[in-house]
Copies of this chain bind each other. A is one copy, B any other.
Amino acid sequence: MGTPPPAFQLDEPNVAIVGVGLIGGSIAAALKARGFPGNVVGVGRNPARLQGARDAGLIDEIATTTPAESRFVVYCTPVDRIAAQVVGDAARSGPGTLMTDAGSVKGRIQNAVAEQLPAGVTFVGSHPLAGSEKAGWEHADANLYEGRMCILTPDETTPALELDRARRFWEFLGMRVVELSAEDHDRILAMTSHVPHAVAAALAGALAASESPFAATGFRDTTRIASGEPEIWVPILLANRDAVLRGLDRVRRRLERIHRAVEVDDAIELERLLAQGKLVREGLDG
């Protein structure tokens, strides 16, 4: 697939990507594919892994800590590490630095960062709705973000100009940007992403070894996301605890209604429950 040219040039002197895995690596790949002229620094704990990403042409420089001269920093690390990294890096950074992230949970990060940043340094929460059950920059895809939605979660303290910088960054990667409160984001993503992950893991985990040779496409589709890294998903589920628990309860109540309808041979109620699921599913494109 070719990469459509961006509608504008990204007006940042440099971009630092903290955590060059599938998500961070795909951001780097998209920046390059779209002709971003500035410097792209990959920041991580493992220089050998970063060296590979540089050799592959994804990033220009590698660093084990975020360079103080970085003016646009994107954190693509697991959600339980982002806030501490933001606060730590912010203390060493200069005015005009914009920090954002790609974390799947927003409220806990924003609460932890709030009032911890020096003057002139801004954090705007972002969540690009794109990903894969694969891990590592080797699976980086310059088109991962193309046409997908990115949710920004500014609050009343976010300067309009910095929000606009964050918006332009994701739009440069081809994304449609929408704004939500961190609370709405977390409530919605619990249902659309975090709870489905838990459900897929439960379904896959319940399959016995003797049954797996008979799993066909239906089972495979339904459990595909269970292949995601627990290292990434455990922090997400725990960081969005309350919304995840409420979402799990919603699914559990529906499963219990299906269980009861099967148990008492209630074809009408079962038909209603399956038809509701079909209606919702068909309302989603693709």
Contact = CB atoms under 8 A, between A and B. Distances in A.
Which interface residue of A131, A192, A210 has the most chain B CB atoms within 10 A?
A192
Given A238-B267, A262-B238, A222 B220 contact: no
A221 B224 contact: yes
A118 to B, nearest CB: 31
9 interchain residue pairs of minimum CB distance: A201-B277, A202-B254, A204-B277, A230-B274, A226-B277, A205-B277, A206-B250, A205-B276, A226-B281
Given A221-B222, A222-B222, A280-B226, A199 B192 contact: no
Interface of A: 129-131, 148-149, 151, 188-189, 191-193, 195-212, 214-230, 233-235, 237-238, 241, 244-245, 247-255, 258-259, 262-263, 265, 267, 270-271, 273-278, 280-284, 286
Consensus secondary structure, chain A interface: helix
A177 to B, nearest CB: 13
A263 B280 contact: no
Given A201-B258, A244-B262, A277 B223 contact: yes
Given A192-B215, A192-B216, A245-B263, A202 B280 contact: no
Nearest to A216: B129
A149 B278 CA distance: 27
B207 A280 contact: yes
A207 B191 contact: yes
A225 B199 CA distance: 14
A277 B205 CA distance: 4
